[in-house]
Amino acid sequence: MPHPGVSWQPQGRPATQPHEYIRGGTTKILILFHPATGQVRLHPATRGTNAILHPWLRERLSEILAELPPLGSSQDVAATQAAWAMWQASLTMPFTLPEDLPPLRLLLVWDNLAGHKTPELVLWLCAQGVMPLYTPVGGSWLNMAESIERVLKRRALDGQHPHSPKEIGSWFEQTAQRWNEQPTPFVWNGNRRQRRRRSGGDQTHWLGGSGASTHKPLRRSHSAGSDKCQNSQQMTH
């Protein structure tokens, strides 16, 4: 059964690249996305190895934690343990939490990759009050970062012909900077929200690439002649 896509071509006539297109390499885009505000932190890189991802992730998360409201002087140990345990209650493969846990400050949702489960990194996250939550294998649509990546990619590259990975990364950075000037918050479009939407109580607009939606439609740009487009804080990567 056909599904909605970017474009459809007649059988036997696949889409082709224009003569201006030159395959001069690829670039990796590292993204941290805050659905509640729509703010995105982005970094282009030549590779996405742990040696590149982990230092960048630690630096960005440290900045985000520093911007959060300060904690109160009194901390309830039992409440802290309960907050961490609550987010592990429904996980099919929970990891062992350290005994000495700080207050839970941030939820980090990301893909189920081996590099994301490095013990050194997971222990660092827990020590900072960051709870890593892994999407199931083959469940990338549960990660809202999939949607924002698709939006930024179309706005940065559709109708354009970059000639180097550096140029691709620069265009992504410029697009993310403009997006953050007037970001669009994302909401989870799960079964409960869909039922409210069918009853007319919640009007949202679907986003491609994940199970996310927005309360207002994203404006499409036609300048290039093509289709552009919890109790704790939550980030998706």
pLDDT of residue 6: 66
Rounded mean pLDDT, 144-151 = 87
Of 196 and 83, more confident: 83
Of the listed ranges 30-39, 45-54, 211-220, the least confidently predicted one is 211-220
> Is residue 16 included in any domain, yes or no?
no
Residue where the block lists tokens 């059964």: 1
> Is residue 175 included in any domain, yes or no?
yes
Of 189 and 62, more confident: 62
State the pLDDT confidence band at 160, using cuts at 50, 70 and 90: confident
> Is residue 183 included in any domain, yes or no?
yes
pLDDT of residue 235: 60
Between the CA atoms of 124, 125, 129 and 135, what dihedral angle is there, to the nearest 10 degrees?
Answer: -160
State the pLDDT confidence band at 212, using cuts at 50, 70 and 90: confident
Contact predicate 123/146, CB 8 Å:
no
Could you tell me the residue range of the domain that residue 209 belongs to? 24-65+91-237
Question: CATH number of the domain that 237 lies in?
Answer: 3.30.420.10
Tally of structural domains, the chain: 1
Contact predicate 157/29, CB 8 Å:
no
Which two structure tokens, joined as six digits, stand for 31?
A: 């993204």
> Is residue 210 included in any domain, yes or no?
yes
> Is residue 76 included in any domain, yes or no?
no
Which pLDDT tens digit goes with each residue over 89-138?
878 878 888 888 899 999 999 988 889 999 999 999 999 999 999 888 87
pLDDT of residue 22: 80
pLDDT of residue 32: 94
Rounded mean pLDDT, 80-92 = 86
> Is residue 83 included in any domain, yes or no?
no
The beta-carbon contacts of 178-182 under 8 Å, at least 24 apart in sequence, are 179/38, 179/40, 179/151, 179/152, 179/155, 180/39, 180/40
> Is residue 1 included in any domain, yes or no?
no
pLDDT of residue 179: 95
Query: What letter would DSSP give residue 168?
Result: H
Percent of the chain at pLDDT exceeding 70: 78
What is the C-alpha radius of gyration for the chain, rounded to an integer number of angstroms? Answer: 20
Burial of 208 (0-12, 13-18, 19+ CB in 10 A): middle
Q: Is the pLDDT of residue 228 over 50?
A: no
